[in-house]
Amino acid sequence: MGFLIIEKGIRPGVALIRLNRPESLNALNRALVAELTDTLLEMEREEAIRAIVITGNERAFAAGADIKEMAEDSAVDMLLLDQFQRWDQIKRLKKPLIAAVSGYALGGGCELAMLCDIIIASETAQFGQPEIKIGVIPGAGGTQRLTRAIGKARAMEYILTGKFFSAQQAEAWGLVTRVVPVELYLEEALRLAEEIASMPPIAVQLAKQAVNKAYELSLEEGLHFERRNFYLLFATADQKEGMRAFMEKRPPKWQGR
């Protein structure tokens, strides 16, 4: 049995993936991570899907990697399993990913949310990298992405103590886009996904790519990268259509070409 509930076309251009292991607070076992990455790669190929929302349930987005599954693993087991390539596949996706987070987003769950491009949180969301409390450290990007998102001082405190932080703190520190009442967090994420899905898809992908480069390149290199993507968009039919539609005072019709 699968660990995901998938709804393609839940809104125009939008696919929803629900993590569905509620008895374990959506702990990310290997089968779930494999299913998730396979599903995302399949969605990456489907033209009709232009934005993807990943969510859990009200109690938990995901409470981390499955501790029961990895407890007795050796370093060699970990190395041979090479789960990191799965996580890297998510990082390389071109389509926009929105995490709709309610309840626990801990350890690998917080890392999964941070791999998404945008996080919408319910007011009950709790974030954290509690790996230190079970004798390890974040393994899927937490030390890097949390530090870049909320700054070194806060990341140090929360990664070294494993304490959780609230949705409101996450918003104040810039980790999440906004906090909404628990009844609305998924709706808000879907609304945002639909809005993004209505934009010209190649421009969306190149914009996502360029924003992500801001974390990896120097300013000079990043500006160069941005410029290349900017020029490239003038090769698309959607650029011509967008600018003509503006001048003709009509809504554009995107082709994704």
Active site residue 187: no
Nearer residue to ligand DAK within complex by CB, 13 or 141: 141
Check 108, 109, 139, 141 and give the catalytic one.
Answer: 108
3-state secondary structure of 48: coil
Nearer to ligand DAK, 28 or 52 (CB): 28
Does position 134 bind ligand DAK by CB under 6 A?
yes
- Please say whether the beta carbons of 98 and 189 come within 8 A: yes
Query: How many residues bind to ligand DAK according to rule CB under 6 A?
Result: 22
Q: Segment 48-87, which members bind ligand DAK (CB under 6 A)?
A: 63-68, 78, 83-84, 87
- Binding of ligand DAK at residue 139 (CB under 6 A)? yes
Residue 60 contacts residue 108 (beta carbons within 8 Å)? no
Under the criterion CB under 6 A, does residue 104 sit at the interface with ligand DAK? yes
Q: Classify residue 209 by its DSSP letter.
A: H
Contact between residue 61 and residue 104 where contact means Cβ atoms under 8 Å apart: yes
Residue 48 catalytic?
Answer: no
- DSSP β-ladder status, 126-128 and 178-180: unpaired
The neighbouring-strand residues paired with 11 are: 14
> Does 158 engage in binding with ligand DAK (CB under 6 A)?
no
Q: Report, in Å, the least distance between residue 156 CB and ligand DAK.
A: 18
Report the DSSP pairing between strands 97-101 and 118-122. parallel
How is the chain split among helix, strand and coil, in percent rounded to 5? 50, 20, 30
Q: Is 105 helix (H, G, I), strand (E, B) or coil?
A: strand
Toward ligand DAK, which CB reaches closer, 65 or 113?
A: 65
Shortest CA distance to 97 belongs to which of 43, 161, 29? 43
Closest residue to ligand DAK, based on beta-carbon distance: 107
Residue 24 lies near ligand DAK (rule: CB under 6 A): yes
Question: 65 an active-site residue?
Answer: yes
DSSP assignment of 49-63 = --EEEEE--SSEEE-
Catalytic residue status for 131: yes
Residues that bind ligand DAK (CB under 6 A): 24-25, 27, 63-68, 78, 83-84, 87, 104, 106-108, 130-131, 134, 139-140
Catalytic positions, written as ranges:
65, 108, 111, 131
